[in-house]
Amino acid sequence: MIEVTDLTVRYGPAGGGVRALERINIRIEEGSIFGIVGESGSGKSTLAMTLMRLLPKSGTVEEGVIKLDGTDILKLPDREFRKMRGSTLSLVFQGAMNTLNPLIRIEDQVAEPLILHGEQNRAKAIEKAHETLQLVGLDSSTWRKYPHELSGGMKQRAVIASAIITGPKVLIADEPSTALDVITQVQIMNLLRTLQRTLKMTVIFISHDFPLVSEMSDRIAIMYGGKLCETGPNALILNRPLHPYTAGLIDSVPAVGRKKRISAIQGDPVDMRNPPSGCRFRPRCTKATDSCGSFDYTVTHAENEHDVYCTLYGN
């Protein structure tokens, strides 16, 4: 189980800079798929990088705790955490096309995490790589190829193989299907779901594609401007969105075959250098009231683990 408590991450110098995440609270049950949805700059990828402790040099965790099965991974000494990075916690990157080294064979790249985590016997590592590649649906004809000889979907499968070869407890998939066509996207999603079930992993699935996330996940978190809007079980959020931003997102998704007016959310994404006081979504929200300006992001509505951060409910 992963528990994120009051996580705040800043880019830039203390006192100034930009808070990419502010007081984020998330609970992720073991063996579930947790979806995180948000537009560009909402802090999705920063959250993923913080979980992996791979923030760029300019990024600092100001406060907060990330507990993985009870241990605070942010407090672990580097040497301890390095044993977990890429083995207990794995990351599938955004833009998989380029996450493979063009000059290293597929089997070697898939075996690499094993070798980096102390496997001395190269032949054994390669053998395990073959098994894993087979598991993600790549047959022996691809094993000794170079990345440019594979299609986008195949490359993504190889990337997933290298992420799961160490048998991670938690797999973080940051936009794993971006830049793939719809058919391949579905295949990759199905693959991730199957792997999650057979390997009993916890999957954190990050995307800006709301329909895709809702189809995949058990629970969802909606993020906006470095803040949470709403977290809860998939079905609840989808059928009864409480936060105006979530509702706006759902209304802006076209549905094939259904006569439905698509409405966009008005306004521009939040300027993170100079965020509005109170609720970050306030300037774009159609239901904003005066009290929104002093909103302090306490949970205003909680039922069936469906938490909403909005003045419309309670307060």
Partner 1 sequence: MTEEQHFLKLFAHNLKGMTGLVIVLTFVMMGVLAPFVSPYSPYATNPNAFLLSPRPSHPFGTNVLGQDLLTLDLYGAQISLIVGLSSAAIAVGLGLVAGLFSGYFGGVVDEIIMRIVDFFIVIPALVFMIIIAALLGPSTVNVILVIGMLSWAPTARIIRSMVLSIREWPFVESARANNAGSLYIMFRHIFPNVSSVLYGNAMLAVASAIFTQAALVFLGVGNVTAISWGGIIREAYATGALTNGDLSYVLPPGFFIFILIFGFIMIGYAIEEILNPKLRLRRQ
* Contact status: 58 vs partner 1 (CB under 8 A): no
* Contact status: 82 vs partner 1 (CB under 8 A): yes
CB 195 within 8 A of CB 176: no
Q: How many chain residues interact with partner 1 (CB under 8 A)?
A: 25
Quickly list H helices, the chain. Answer: 44-51, 78-84, 106-116, 122-135, 140-143, 152-164, 182-199, 210-216, 234-239, 244-251
Residue from 58, 71, 98, 289 in contact with partner 1 (CB under 8 A): 98
* Contact status: 117 vs partner 1 (CB under 8 A): yes
103 or 264: whose CB is closer to partner 1?
A: 103
Residue from 46, 99, 142, 207 in contact with partner 1 (CB under 8 A): 99
Sheet with 18-28: list strands edge to edge.
Answer: 18-28, 2-11, 59-68, 71-72
Q: Hey, is 280 helix, strand or coil?
A: coil
- For the bound state, the minimum distance from the C-beta of residue 131 to partner 1, rounded and expressed in Å, comes to 18
Residue appearing with tokens 């995307």: 207
> What are the φ/ψ torsions at residue 284 (nearest 5 degrees)?
-105, -5
- For the bound state, the minimum distance from the C-beta of residue 58 to partner 1, rounded and expressed in Å, comes to 13
- For the bound state, the minimum distance from the C-beta of residue 135 to partner 1, rounded and expressed in Å, comes to 18
Please give the distance of CA 52 from its chain centroid, rounded to a whole number: 11
- For the bound state, the minimum distance from the C-beta of residue 161 to partner 1, rounded and expressed in Å, comes to 12
Please give the distance of CA 261 from its chain centroid, rounded to a whole number: 30
* Contact status: 103 vs partner 1 (CB under 8 A): yes
Those residues whose C-beta lies under 8 Å from the C-beta of residue 271, and which sit 6 or more positions away, are none
Span 278-307, contacts to partner 1 by CB under 8 A: none
* Structure tokens that stand for 187 in this block: 């295949």
- For the bound state, the minimum distance from the C-beta of residue 116 to partner 1, rounded and expressed in Å, comes to 5
* Binding segment toward partner 1, per CB under 8 A, in 112-120, 213-221, 245-253, 265-273: 112-120
* Contact status: 87 vs partner 1 (CB under 8 A): yes
* Contact status: 102 vs partner 1 (CB under 8 A): yes
Q: What 8-state DSSP symbol labels residue 46?
A: H
Report, in angstroms and rounded to the nearest whole number, the Rg of the chain calculated over CA atoms.
20
- For the bound state, the minimum distance from the C-beta of residue 92 to partner 1, rounded and expressed in Å, comes to 9
**DSSP states along 156-191:** HHHHHHHHHTT--SEEEEESTTTTS-HHHHHHHHHH
Interface map 140-179 toward partner 1 (x if CB under 8 A): -------------------x--x-----------------
* Binding segment toward partner 1, per CB under 8 A, in 18-26, 28-36, 98-106, 264-272: 98-106
Rounded Cα distance between 28 and 3, Å, is 6
CB 276 within 8 A of CB 227: no
166 or 234: whose CB is closer to partner 1?
A: 166
* Binding segment toward partner 1, per CB under 8 A, in 80-88, 181-189, 255-263, 275-283: 80-88
95 or 314: whose CB is closer to partner 1?
A: 95
Q: Which residues bind partner 1 (CB under 8 A)?
A: 52, 54, 82-83, 85-87, 90-91, 93-95, 98-104, 112-113, 116-117, 159, 162
